[in-house]
Chains A and B, each alone.
Chain A
Amino acid sequence: MAKHLKDEVFDHEYDGIQEYDNRMPNWWLWLLYGTIVYSFLYWGIVHTFEKGTLPIEAYRAEVAKAAEAQLARMEGMEISDESLVLVSQIPERVEAGSRIWTQNCVECHLADGSGSIGPNLTDRYWLHGGNPLNIYATIMNGVPEKGMVAWGETMSPTKIQDVTAFLISSIKGKQLPGKDPQGEPEEG
C-alpha cells in the first residue's frame, strides 16, 4: 500500500461519518504545484517581459502572412489598390516605408502628415486622388509643377509601394489639424 495510505481515522465522527488522516497523493500535489509554477512563468514571460504573442499581435501576424501569400500569387500582375492594401498589412514593409517617409517626405508633409509645404495627408481631401493607386502614382511620377518630386526616378517600385503602404496604414485618415484642406473630398 502506498505510503500516504495510513488509513488511520481521527477519533472524531460527525453523524457517524469518520475521516482518515491520509496524505494527499503526490501526483495531485505536483499537478497543483506545476500549474502554479506554470502560471507564474506565463505571466512573467507574456505580461511582464512581453515576450509572448497576445491575441491582437497574433492576428496582425496572421493577416501579414496571408497578405504575403496573396502578393506572391499576384506577382507579375500590375500594382493595384488591392495589392497596395496587402502591402500595408505587412509590418516589415510598413516599417520600411516609415523609414523612407522620415528620410524623404517629412520636410514638406511633416512627420505626422499634417502638411506644411505639401498638403495635409491626414484629411479627406486629395489633390490627385486618395486611393492607394492614386497615391502610388503621385509618389512615382511626382507633380513637378507643384514641387512634388517624381520619386520613381530615384527609388525602386518596391520602395514606393512601401511608402504608399505606410501612408495608407499610418497617415491617411488620421484627421489631424494642420494645413487647410486642398482638393476634392473622398467619397464615403
Chain B
Amino acid sequence: MTTDALKQEIVYDDKIVRAFIVASVAFAIVAMSVGVLIAIQLVFWQANFGTSWTAFGRLRPLHTNAAIFAFVGNMMFAGIYYSTQRLIKARMGSDGLSWLHFWTWQIAILGAAVSLPLGLTQAKEYAELIWPIDIVIAVSWVAFSVNFFWALAKRNEKNLYVSLWFYIATIVTIPVLFIVNNLQLPTSFLHSYPIYAGVQDALVQWWYGHNAVGFFLTTPILGIMYYFIPKACGRPVYSYRLSVVHFWALIFLYIWAGPHHLLFTALPDWTQSTGMLFSLILLAPSWGGMLNGLLTLRGAWDKLKTDPVLKFFVVAITFYGMSTFEGPLLSIKSVNSLAHYTDWIIGHVHGGTLGWNGFMAAGMFYWLVPRLFGTKLWSTQLADAHFWTGTFGILLYVVAMWISGINQGLYWRALDAEGFLLYPDFVEWLISARFLYLMRMIGGTVYLLGFFAMAFNLVMTARAGKPVTSADRVVIRTGFEGPSTWELIRGWPVVLSLLIVVATILFGIASPLTQGAVAGFLASLVIAAILAVGLGKENWHRLLEGRPLAFTILTVVAILIGGLAELIPSVIIRHEVPITPQAAEAKAAPTDSSAALIASGTTDAPGTSGTTDASGTSGTTAPPGMPAAPVKAATNAVVSAYAQQPYSPLELTGRDIYIREGCFNCHTQMIRPMRHETLRYGEYSRAEEFVYDHPFQWGSRRIGPDLHRVGGKYPSLWHYIHMRDPRATSPGSTMPTYRFLTDAVVDFDAISRKMEALRRLGVPYSESEIATAAQTARSQALLLATDLAEQEIEISTESELLAVIAYLQRLGRGPQPTALENAAAPEIGTAGGGAEAPETAEVN
C-alpha cells in the first residue's frame, strides 16, 4: 500500500523508437539496393554507366556506410531507446536530445549519400565521410550519449541489466575509435589529409575498422539480443555468470584484434602476431554471447514453429556464432595468407551483416512494430516468406563468396611445375569467378526482396493500428545505497585484473632470460585471482551494476588498454629516426639517406630525407659507423633500398584523384612477402616506402591486381588506353571506364594548399616547391602529353587523366627525378632513378 502510494506513472518515449525504425527500414532498402547494383557491376561492367557518380569505386563506400551507419545504426538506436527506458524504468534524459540525435544522424546519412557519389572521401574504409560530416556525427553521438547517461542518472531501477552494459561499451568506445581515426588536417571545406601516414595510418584505420564491427555491429546488437530474446520467448537468460565473463572478455579483447586485417603486410611482426592471437582468444567470448542467446531459448523451441520473431533471432545468432568462428579462423596467419584480399572476406562480412545484423533487425522489427502500434502483425505468412527467402539469399550469397574467395586465393598462388605462375594474367581469375558473382548477385537480390516484403508488412501493420505510448507505474528513486564509485573501482577485482594485464604486457616484452620469471609471477596472480573469486562473499559485480559511473569508468579502461598498447609503440616509432650530429651532417651534405634510414631500422624519414633527394641527385656517402647487418638485409632485396621522396605536385594531384575515384576498393598497394606475389607484382612492399602516404592506400581486397609496383611497368600510352577502355588492354576486366577523366580539368591552384597541409603533417616540401607547385605540375603534365602526342594521342595538358598516369607511373619506385629533371632526361622516370641517378661532382 505504501509503496503503491509512492508509485508514479512513467511515460516512455516510443515516438522516437518509431522514427528510428522508419529510418532504419528505409535505409536498409537503400543500402541493399546499392549493394545489388554494385554486385551487378561486378558481373556486367556496363552497369557502371560510364559516369563518375555511378562507378563502383564511389558506390561501394556508399553501400558499406549505408548498411553500417544508416541501416544498423538506426536499428540499434531504435532498440536501445526502447529497451533502455524499460530496463531502467525511466524516460530518456531529454526528448530534445533524442530528436537532436535522430535528426543529426539522418543529416549525416544524407550528407554521405550526396558526398560519396561526388567522390568526396577520406578513403579509409567505413571512415570515408569528409570532416564536416564527421562533425555532424560527433554532435549526434554527443546528444545520444548525454541523453543515455542522463537517463541512467534518473533511473528507478538500481542495477543495470546486461543489455545496458553492452550499450555503455558501445557509447564510450565509438567516440574513441572515431576521433582517433578521423584526425585530419583540412585543406578545404570538402577535403582533408589524415595526420597519419603509411603504416601508422593503416594500423589506426584497421584498429578502427575492426572495432567498428566490434562496437557498432556487435556489442549494441548483443545488448538488443539480451533484451528482445528473453522478451520474445518468455524465458530467463541462460547464465548470468556467462554474461559477466563474456562481456568483459569481449570488450577487452576486441580492441586488440585490429591488426589481423594487416597480416603479411609491412606492419611490424609483433603487431601482426598480437592481432592474430587476440582474435583467437576472442572466439570463446564471442561464443559466450551465442550460447547465452541460444540457450535462453531452451524450453521455448516449440515456439519457433509459429513465431517468425524467434526464427529470425535463432538464425541471426547462428550466423553470429558462425561469423565469430570464421573471424578467428581467418586471423590465423596460414589461413589468412590464402584468404586475405579475396572474396572470402566479403562472404565473412555479409554472413555478419545479412545474417546477424539483418536478421536481428528483422526479428526486432516484427516484435516491436505490432507493440508500438497496439495491434498484431499484419501477416505472419509474409514474415515467414521473408524468413525463408532471406535465409536462402544469405546462404547463396555467402557460399558463392566462400567458393569464389578460396578459388581466388588458389588461382593467385598456383605455380606450374617449374615454379612460375600458373595464371600469370590476373584477369584469368576474374573470368573464372563470373558465375559465382552472378550467384552472389542473385542471393543479394533475393535477400533484398525479403526486406521489401518486411517493409510492406510493417507498413500494413502500422496502418492497422495506431501509435501507442506505453507507461509504467514505478517507485521513484532519488538515490541508491551501496559502495561509492571510488570504492568499487579500487576493489580487488580491478586491482588484480590490472596487475594481470601489466604482467601480460611484461611477458610480451620480456627477454628470453626473464620471461620464465614473469610467467611465474603471472601464474601466481591468476591463482590469487581464482582464490579471491572463491573466497569473495559479496558479489562485487552486482555492486558494480548499481553504480553506472564506476561501470563506465572500468569499461573505458578495458577498451583503452588494447588501443594504447598497440598504437603507442607504432606512433612513437617516428622518433627513432636518429636526430644525431651524424644525421645532421648527412642532411647537410647530400647523402644516400636511405642507407641511413635502413641502418637505423626505422620506418620514417622526416628527419633525414628532407632536402637531400629532391633534386634526384643523391650521392654515394653514408654516415660513418653504419651497422652492416641491416644494410645487408636491405640490399638482399632486389630493389635497392632508398628512402621515400614526396610526390611531385602532379603525382600528388593524381593520387588525390585515385582516392576520389575509390580505386582502393578494388586495387591494393601492398605486396605481401610471398613468392607468388613477388613473381606477379614485384618486390614485396616495405614500411618505409609509405612514409608520405596520407592516407595509406593499401586497400583490403583485389578485384583488380595490386598496383604498388605498377610504376614503370607499362608505357604511359598503355595507361591512357586502359583507363579509357579497360577491356582494350585487359579483355575480361570488369573495371569501370574512366573516359570522363580525359576531359576533367586539374585544379592546379589547389595543389599548393594541399602541399602546405602535407608539409605541416611532416612531408618535407620546401617553400619554393610549394610556391611553384602549379608550374611544376604543368611542366610534368606537358612532358606526359608530349610523350603521348608523339604516339598520336591528343590530350589537354590540364587533363586529370595525365595526373593519374603520373601517379601510377610513380608508384612503388621510391625517389624519382622531379619534373625539372625530367625535362632534361629523355624519359619520364627511369627505373631506380634516385639511388642510381646520374652522379654529380662528388664522383670525381
Whether both chains belong to one complex is answered with yes
Instruction: Find out whether the CB atom of B281 lies under 8 angstroms from the CB atom of A20.
Output: no
- Tell me whether A14 and B507 are in contact in the complex, defined as CB-CB below 8 angstroms, given that A20-B238, A31-B287, A173-B640 are known contacts: no
Whether A18 and B510, one on each chain, are in contact in the complex, defined by CB atoms closer than 8 angstroms, is: no
Interface-forming stretch among B242-250, B435-443, B489-497?
A: B242-250
Chain A nearest CB, measured from B370 CB (Å): 18
**Are B631 and A174 in contact (CB-based, < 8 A)?**
yes
Bound state CA distance, A18 and B235, in angstroms?
8
A144 within 8 A of B: no
What is the 8 Å Cβ interface bit string for chain A, positions 158-188, against chain B (1 contact, 0 not)?
0000000000011011111100010001101
On chain A, the residues within 8 Å of B640 by CB distance are 173, 175
Give chain A nearest CB distance to B222 CB in angstroms: 15
Contacts of A188 in B (CB 8 A): 830-832, 836
* Pair B273/A42 contact, Cβ less than 8 Å: yes
Contact B418 A73 (CB under 8 A): yes
Bound-state Cα–Cα, A58 to B512, Å: 22
A residues within 8 A CB of B843? 181
Contact with A along B146-167 (1 / 0, CB 8 A): 0000000000010101100000
Contacts of A44 in B (CB 8 A): 507, 515, 519
Which chain A positions have C-beta within 8 A of B270? 47
Query: Are A35 and B620 in contact (CB-based, < 8 A)?
Result: no
| CB-based nearest A residue for B618 | A175
**Count of interface residues, chain A, beta-carbon cutoff 8 Å:** 59
CB distance from B790 to the nearest CB of A (A): 23
Minimum CB–CB distance for B310 against chain A, Å: 16
- Chain B residue with minimal CB distance to A36? B281
CB atoms of B161 and A48 under 8 A apart: no
Whether A17 contacts B237 by the Cβ 8 Å rule is yes
- Is B467 on the interface with A (CB-CB < 8 A)? no
Give CA–CA (A17, B595) in the complex, Å: 66
B368-393: CB near A (< 8 Å → 1, else 0) gives 00000000000000000000000000
User: A185 to B839, Cβ gap below 8 A?
Assistant: yes
Cα of A41 to Cα of B510 in the assembled complex, Å: 13
Contacts of A46 in B (CB 8 A): 273
A49 engages B512 (CB within 8 Å): yes
Pairwise interchain contact A19-B277, C-beta atoms closer than 8 A? no
| Chain B nearest Cβ from A126, distance in angstroms | 13
A173 and B273: CB pair below 8 A?
A: no
Which residues of B sit under 8 angstroms from A10, Cβ to Cβ? 240
Closest CB of chain A to B827's CB: distance in Å? 12
Interface centre among B86, B284, B622, B831 (most CB of A within 10 A): B284
CA of A83 to CA of B713, assembled, Å: 24
Interface residues of B (CB under 8 A from A): 83, 86-87, 89, 157, 159, 161-162, 227, 230-231, 236-243, 245, 249, 263-264, 269-270, 272-273, 277-278, 280-281, 283-285, 287-288, 291, 333, 418-419, 507-508, 510-512, 515, 519, 592, 595, 620-622, 628, 631-632, 635-636, 640, 672-675, 678, 684, 830-832, 835-836, 839, 843
Q: List 8 A-B contacts (CB under 8 A).
A: A15-B87, A19-B239, A22-B242, A24-B245, A28-B284, A28-B291, A32-B285, A175-B595
**Which 5 residue pairs spanning A and B have beta carbons closest together?**
A32-B284, A59-B673, A18-B236, A39-B277, A14-B161
Residues of A within 8 A of B (CB): 9-10, 12, 14-25, 28-29, 31-32, 35-36, 38-40, 42-44, 46-49, 54-56, 58-60, 62-63, 66, 69-70, 73, 111-112, 123-124, 169-170, 172-177, 181, 185-186, 188
